[in-house]
Amino acid sequence: MWKLNDVVNIQYVDGYTYRIEFDDGRSGDVDFSSYLKRLGIFAPLKDKKLFCSARIEGGTISWPNGADVAPETLYEKLENL
C-alpha cells in the first residue's frame, strides 16, 4: 500500500524500462512501453533520446516535455511484480 512515498532514484535499464526506487526501499523495473501507445503527452517519448532524459521531479519520474506518472501508480506497479 502506497503511503505518500517518493521516488528517490531512477535508472534507465533498456528499451522503455526504468528501475524505480522509492524512499521506503521498494524498487523494481517498470516498463513504460504501454504509455507510449497513448496519444498526447506520452507520444513524444517514443523518441529514445527524450525517453532517456527522465528525471525525478515532485517525488516521481518526469520528462522534459511535461509527461510524468503519478507515484502511487508506479508504487502499485511494483507491488504487482
Res 18 pLDDT > 80: yes
How are the residues of the chain apportioned to helix, strand and coil, as percentages rounded to the nearest 5? Answer: 30, 30, 40
Please give the domain boundaries of the chain with CATH numbers for all domains.
7-79 (3.30.2020.10)
Q: Which pLDDT score is estimated for 2?
A: 59
Q: What is the pLDDT of residues 42-79, one digit of tens each?
A: 999 999 999 999 999 999 999 999 999 999 999 999 98
Q: Which pLDDT score is estimated for 52?
A: 98
- Distance between CA atoms of residues 49 and 57, nearest Å: 18
C-alpha cell at 69: 506518472
> Which pairing describes strands 7-14 and 60-62: parallel, antiparallel, or unpaired?
unpaired
CA atoms within 13 A on the CB side of 57: 11
Give the whole-number percent of the chain exceeding pLDDT 70: 96
